[in-house]
Structure 1
Amino acid sequence: MQIIRKIPVKQILTQSSRAELKDRFDERIARLDRECRQLSFEQKKLERKPGVSRQEVERRFSKEISRRRDQMRWIEYQLNQLEILPDGSELETDEVDALIEVNEGDSWNEMIRDQQMIIKDGIVIRAR
């Protein structure tokens, strides 16, 4: 039998990986900002529509905009932490699904032990 298990991918921080992560965070912030502006536009458009409750529209859109702004603040915090961390630090950047073969008689503890992949400058250096 095969099972799917999530395995964290950790990246060793170097100058190039720091720049790559910063670019990725900046892109996510820009995307979230565009989404906020688009939602505001859609909100104003719906509020002018007859037969639609302004309060309900405002409540729904405010909730979505607030959620995206919270995500932006979290990413900005991560950016600040990225600047503080020294080179060589391990950061959990992704999570991948791994297909694991399970047979009768296998040790379950061995199957569920902490597994992870370590990446340095785009190259897998350890799979443990």
Structure 2
Amino acid sequence: MQIIRKVPVKEILTESSRARLREKFEQRSQQLDQECRQLAFEQKKLERKPGVSKQEVERRFSKEIGRRKDQLRWLEYQRKQLDILPDESEIETDEVEALINVEEGDYWNDVIQERQIVIKDGKVIRAR
């Protein structure tokens, strides 16, 4: 049997990885900001429609906008960490899903143990 498990991806900081991560965080931040503005526009458009509950529209849209603002705060935190952490430090940059084989007789603790992928300058150096 196979199960799907989330695995964190960590990056070892170097000068080139810092620059690439700053750019990635900035692009993602701009995208989330644009999505927030678009959602606010769509919310106002829907609220003006007759027969639509303003409270329901506001509740749904504020939930989505809030989710994106949380992601923006997380990106800001990661950006600050990028400036603070010394070279060769690990920073979590992503999360992927992995298929894990589970067979009868396997030790459950071995199956559920924490796994992670470590990258340095775009190259996988450890998959633990």
Cα-Cα RMSD: 2.2
- What SS does structure 1 have at the residue aligned with 2:97? strand
* Residues 41-56 of structure 1 aligned to structure 2 (within 5 Å): 41-56=41-56
- Pairs within 5 Å for 1:55-66: 55-66=55-66
Shift of 1:63: 2.8
How many percent of aligned residue pairs carry the same amino acid?
A: 72
Look up the match of 2:125: 125
When the two structures are superposed, what TM-score results if normalisation uses the length of structure 2? 0.81
Alpha-carbon offset, residue 74 of structure 1: 2.1
1:29-49 per-residue CA deviation (whole Å, 9 max, x = no partner) reads 111111111111112211222
- Distance in 2 separating the partners of 1:103 and 1:60: 43
The CA deviation at 1:52 is 2.2
The 2-side partners of 1:114 and 1:45 are apart by 46
Change (3 A) 1:90 1:39: same
Match in the other structure for 1:16: 16
State the one-letter code of the partner of 1:53.
S
User: After alignment, is 101-110 or 49-58 more displaced?
Assistant: 101-110
Once structures 1 and 2 are overlaid, which stretch shifts more, 93-102 or 12-21?
Answer: 93-102
Cα 1:106–1:57 shift into 2, 3 Å: closer
* TM-score between both structures, scaled by the size of structure 1: 0.81
Q: Which runs of 5+ in 2 are unaligned?
A: none
Against the structure 1 CA distance between its residues 73 and 100, is the aligned structure 2 distance closer, same or farther, given a 3 Å change threshold? closer
In structure 1, list runs of 5 or more residues that go unmatched: none
Of structures 1 and 2, the larger Rg is shown by: 1
Q: Kindly tell me: are residues 65 and 115 of structure 1, through their superposed partners in 2, closer, same or farther at Cα, counting changes over 3 Å?
A: closer
Distance 1:46 1:117, change over 3 A: closer
